[in-house]
């Protein structure tokens, strides 16, 4: 059965790889990203019924406007994936610039809240759908010089597990650790060391079916691909 899938951060990395897998499997993909050129490329590669828009998830008003448009044209999402995230430049916590720390918080935590606030009421009304918030190994353990990122992903774990307790029977909220993948974000932290790990396209071949199979039975479980 074809699903309606909403995914943030759809233009790069894991999000972009998932778009390709979901679309190839016959699902309708609705995504957003901040780079207009990348969004336009997605629109060209995946025309209607797919839908892609320029949206900064840190901007609550922009997210609300996007959700209104999407919910007017499509059914509420069967699968909502909060994937958009930023990594801080590795440094001791006290050396992190205020602006960078704030940006990581605004995208990684507040951005997830904005998307949930905009889309989940329609899902709750229907009493159906799965919300997957991308966590991290650094949301369940820590490393030096990535404290801001760790803080946000620990927050996502707590936020999602609490959300799971609020949903009606038949829905699910799941914090998902994607594993270690060779993305631009990982290269920001590990430089060339990231090349030892699978590319996003390889990861998505396993992750897309895994995500599509999630249901109410996984509500409130911290999972890993």
Give yes or no: 74 in active site.
no
Active-site position among 46, 74, 149, 154 = 149
CA dihedral 27, 28, 32, 37 (to 10 degrees): 90
Residue 131 β-bridge partners: 80, 173
Q: Is 8 exposed, middle or buried (0-12, 13-18, 19+ CB in 10 A)?
A: buried
Sign of the CA dihedral 24, 25, 29, 32? negative
Task: Quote the CA–CA distance of 178 and 82 in Å, as a whole number.
Answer: 12
Task: Quote the CA–CA distance of 31 and 148 in Å, as a whole number.
Answer: 26
The distance of Cα 115 from the centroid of its chain, to the nearest Å, equals 10
Task: Quote the CA–CA distance of 55 and 36 in Å, as a whole number.
Answer: 9
Task: Quote the CA–CA distance of 185 and 126 in Å, as a whole number.
Answer: 35
- Residues with a known catalytic role: 149
């Amino acid at each position: 059965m074809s699903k309606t899938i909403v995914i943030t951060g759809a233009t790069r990395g894991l999000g972009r790889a998932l778009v390709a897998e979901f679309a190839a499997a016959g699902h309708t993909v609705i995504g957003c990203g901040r780079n207009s050129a990348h969004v336009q490329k997605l629109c060209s590669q995946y025309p209607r019924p797919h839908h892609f828009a320029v949206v900064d998830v840190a901007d609550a008003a922009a997210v609300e406007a996007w959700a209104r448009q999407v919910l007017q044209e499509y059914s509420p999402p069967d699968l909502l994936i909060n994937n958009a995230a930023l990594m801080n430049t590795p440094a001791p916590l006290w050396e992190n610039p205020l602006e960078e720390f704030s940006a990581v918080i605004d995208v990684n935590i507040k951005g997830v809240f904005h998307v949930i606030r905009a889309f989940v009421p329609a899902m709750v009304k229907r009493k159906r759908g799965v919300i997957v918030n991308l966590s991290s190994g650094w949301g369940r353990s820590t490393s030096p010089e990535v404290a801001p990122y760790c803080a946000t992903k620990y927050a996502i774990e707590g936020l999602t597990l609490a959300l799971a307790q609020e949903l009606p029977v038949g829905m699910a909220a799941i914090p998902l650790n994607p594993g270690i993948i060779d993305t631009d974000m990982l290269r920001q932290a590990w430089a060339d060391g990231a090349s030892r790990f699978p590319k996003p396209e390889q990861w998505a071949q396993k992750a897309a079916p895994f995500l599509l199979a999630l249901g109410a039975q996984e509500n409130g479980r911290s999972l890993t691909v």
